[in-house]
Structure 1
């Protein structure tokens, strides 16, 4: 998913900034992506793993490539090969398939339970991005607590408040935004709770004749997104509900900064990176009081019940009309966002790598690490 790609991209760049000693091998399945990373960092090497087909790659070609390259450990997200010649470090962001099974097909649920459960029990270290997810993993898989390491996500230096009126106007024009707007960012899928957000927005427009903000929804299609488009299309305010599709990262700071309020009523998150990006850009945030999200925002956001459309509507109305509240949330959000960095994520991740390699060296009576691999 886009969130997983953002995580691994920022982690690799942050590791390159803090670690010039160890050697890394980056595994890619697409030649054009591999080419974009080749030669970027002196101690990072690129290796193409074929075929792209997931199950063939995980079962056969990835283990073979791990053995052939001679790395000391393999870092994956969620799913590791069932047979792997080296120790596994696995990042498991969340267990949404356990808590929201209705949002996955029976086949997907079965595969996730089997593959992720096996990976969690096999991994030398499990990295996860929040204390909430760590507790969830421990309760679900009964793994030893010392094997689970919390490595919170960070926010890129790109995400800062944009004040330049020309820049803000250019982004508005690019995405067809004509007036003040309420913003939401995330892939179009049921877990993001966009149907309830759209209904809350519609009800607010119906009840409040003075409010004419547009609702801007940023994100590419995920899965089961038809109900989201249907809810917007059948609304009397359909012309004011804008779906931008995928937005390049360089446009996001201006989109965040230009919004009156950012709303993220997700039903379940392992972390919730868009709320951190929004806070870093100084926009007031409304988000859910469920899963990891209160842990990320602290006291810097309005928290709502994501299943209660009326609560979402009331929070939107309050944020839109209370300028003092928006100012206070903006200041709190900026301070809160400063507590997160990809450098810290990389430091904690590197520490986990080194612990695994030291344990391996001790058991094999060998020397220090040769290389570590990050699979994309």
Structure 2
């Protein structure tokens, strides 16, 4: 049989800006560079210039989710894998084919729906509770974005830990830094003091717990303790989720304090992020929590929920809220960090150290021997060994 090794990777949707795009794109770039003797077929929603290589074939499919993406996964992809003679197919977005095709690898980012079914629709809950475990057991290897997610997979899906490898996410700003531009060099404390604001970056979604954050800002205002500005940056997860949050801001008469900026270009986000006085992340569950890593990397003091993968990423470098559904606890933490430069300076230093540690553990290269093992297993079986 042919000696050519062909790797397929489903990366539909990485054209959308955000931490997910950065982690998957950097993963692809690293794998392609380190194992450049292989051929790659990358399934994308849009052409990706940074993946233009002689050994890379980009298959463009103009959808990211919904019925068309499910049709692609269950009908189109199995035939395409056979047609292109792929040895391995890696699903990077949590969904995989139910049809056994090639050697299959699945990345699972989180099991939020399992932990919080009350804030998701019934069909999604059914899928993640009934279909996803069955699908995951069909995989030849599983990548989890944190130890927390890996433990969840073992606990809820009853999958052997030996099948699971942890491959951390990364920051979308990590490539900005080099010997000429360091994280410490970008801090402009004068600008932060002149125009102080809190920052949240992420989806407008119920699981992000923005209601608690909004009510904490209202509590600070009503008690004449503090009147901070909060910038909310990120896309709407759904119109119902976003509408609820934006209506709450209006009902509490906080439009002058809480400003929703929506999605912004990466370059603008970098400027907004690095000039924030404090970063706040009230999410109720995360597989990893990329914005937390970004805030530490950019020298922005961090307040976040003490839950799931956030604890693993942040460690002792930020203020973690035990009762993260309590506006009072959030208000107290914001006031304490906002008012104390000494505390913020200490958090900044710890954040640098923590982000360096997390990045040192980020190694997509670890996926290569797993691919090799699966390829060898497949070819031995085909050759009759």
- Once the two structures are TM-superposed, the CA of residue 248 in structure 1 deviates from its matched residue by 1.7
Structure 1 residue aligned with 2:7: none
Distance in structure 1 (CA, Å) of the matches to 2:384 and 2:262: 51
Structure 1 residue aligned with 2:5: none
Ranked by relative contact order (alpha carbons within 8 Å, sequence separation 6 or more), the top structure is 1
**Structure-2 change in CA distance of 1:253 and 1:38 (3 Å):** closer
Q: Partner of 2:76: helix, strand, or coil?
A: helix
Residue 15 in structure 1 maps to residue 27 in structure 2: no
- Alignment of structure 1 residues 220-369 onto 2, 5 Å: 220-223=235-238, 224-304=241-321, 305-341=323-359, 344-365=362-383
Task: Spell out, residue by residue over 1:277-296, the C-alpha distance to the aligned partner (whole angstroms, 9 max, x if none).
Answer: 11000000011111111110
Match of 2:72 among 22, 34, 57: 57
Gaps of at least 5 residues in structure 2 are 1-12, 178-182
Q: Partner of 2:59: helix, strand, or coil?
A: strand
Distance in structure 2 (CA, Å) of the matches to 1:43 and 1:197: 47
Alignment TM-score, normalising by the size of structure 2: 0.85
**Structure-2 change in CA distance of 1:39 and 1:110 (3 Å):** closer
- Once the two structures are TM-superposed, the CA of residue 299 in structure 1 deviates from its matched residue by 1.2
Residue 158 in structure 1 maps to residue 179 in structure 2: no
Structure 1 residue aligned with 2:106: 90
Residue 117 in structure 1 maps to residue 129 in structure 2: no
Q: Partner of 1:293: helix, strand, or coil?
A: helix
Contact in 2 for aligned 1:124/1:356 (Cα 8 Å): yes
Alignment TM-score, normalising by the size of structure 1: 0.87
Distance in structure 2 (CA, Å) of the matches to 1:356 and 1:240: 54
Structure 1 residue aligned with 2:58: 46
- Once the two structures are TM-superposed, the CA of residue 51 in structure 1 deviates from its matched residue by 7.4
Distance in structure 2 (CA, Å) of the matches to 1:153 and 1:82: 26
Across the aligned residues of Structure 1 and Structure 2, the Cα RMSD in angstroms comes to 2.5
Match of 2:195 among 159, 175, 179: 179
Distance in structure 2 (CA, Å) of the matches to 1:206 and 1:6: 40
Contact in 2 for aligned 1:14/1:342 (Cα 8 Å): no
Q: Displaced runs of 4+ in structure 1, greater than 4 A? A: 49-52
Structure 2 residue aligned with 1:372: none
Residue 75 in structure 1 maps to residue 90 in structure 2: yes
Contact in 2 for aligned 1:129/1:270 (Cα 8 Å): yes
Task: Spell out, residue by residue over 1:15-53, the C-alpha distance to the aligned partner (whole angstroms, 9 max, x if none).
Answer: 23433222211012x3xx12x348623332212347771
- Once the two structures are TM-superposed, the CA of residue 313 in structure 1 deviates from its matched residue by 0.9
**Structure-2 change in CA distance of 1:39 and 1:180 (3 Å):** closer
Q: Partner of 1:184: helix, strand, or coil?
A: strand
**Which has the higher mean CA deviation after the structures are superposed, 269-278 or 228-237?**
228-237
Q: Partner of 1:27: helix, strand, or coil?
A: strand
